[in-house]
Amino acid sequence: MWSSKKERRLHEFAKMMNREQKRGEKKLQTLGEICSQEEVRELRNAFPRLLHENGVSKSDRPKLKHSTDLSILGYNIEREEFETEWFSDAEQLISRLTISAAPPPKDQKLDIENDIKFARLRHYNRLLGIRKAKKNTVLEHDKINEFIRWYKEACLLAQTKSISEIMDSRSEKEKLLCMTQQFLTRDEYQALRASIERMDGLIDRIEVLQELQRNGDTTLKNAPVERKTKKKMRKIDTEQKKKIHSEWNKTKRWHTGGFE
Residues 120 and 80 grouped into a single domain: yes
Crossing angle (nearest 10°) for helices 108-140 and 5-31: 50
Residues 42 and 122 grouped into a single domain: no
Domain end position, chosen among 181, 196, 230:
181
94: pLDDT strictly greater than 50:
yes
pLDDT mean across residues, the chain: 73
Domain-located, residue 156 = yes
Count of H-run helices and E-run strands, the chain = 9, 2
Residues 85 and 132 grouped into a single domain: yes
Residues 92 and 130 grouped into a single domain: yes
Strands (E), the chain: 75-76, 81-82
For residues 5 and 182, the model is more confident at 182
* Confidence band, pLDDT 50/70/90 cuts, at residue 185: confident
Gap between the Cα atoms of 233 and 214, Å rounded: 28
CB-based contact 177:171 (threshold 8 Å) = no
Residues 63 and 157 grouped into a single domain: yes
* Confidence band, pLDDT 50/70/90 cuts, at residue 195: very high
* Confidence band, pLDDT 50/70/90 cuts, at residue 45: low
Domain end position, chosen among 181, 197, 215:
181
Residues 101 and 5 grouped into a single domain: no
- Which strand (E) or helix (H) includes residue 76? strand 75-76
Domain-located, residue 34 = yes
- Compute the C-alpha angle 107/112/116, nearest 5°: 145
Gap between the Cα atoms of 39 and 51, Å rounded: 18
Residues 81 and 34 grouped into a single domain: no
Grouping H, G, I as helix, E, B as strand and the rest as coil, residue 81 is strand
Residues 37 and 82 grouped into a single domain: no
Residues 33 and 87 grouped into a single domain: no
Gap between the Cα atoms of 257 and 173, Å rounded: 39
Residues 30 and 102 grouped into a single domain: no
Domain-located, residue 239 = no
Q: Which range of residues forms the domain containing residue 36? A: 1-48
Grouping H, G, I as helix, E, B as strand and the rest as coil, residue 94 is coil
65: pLDDT strictly greater than 70:
no
- Secondary structure (DSSP) of 113-138: HHHHHHHHHHHHHHHHHHHHHHHHHH
- Compute the C-alpha angle 236/238/242, nearest 5°: 115
How many domains does the chain fold into? 2
Residues 8 and 98 grouped into a single domain: no
Domain-located, residue 154 = yes
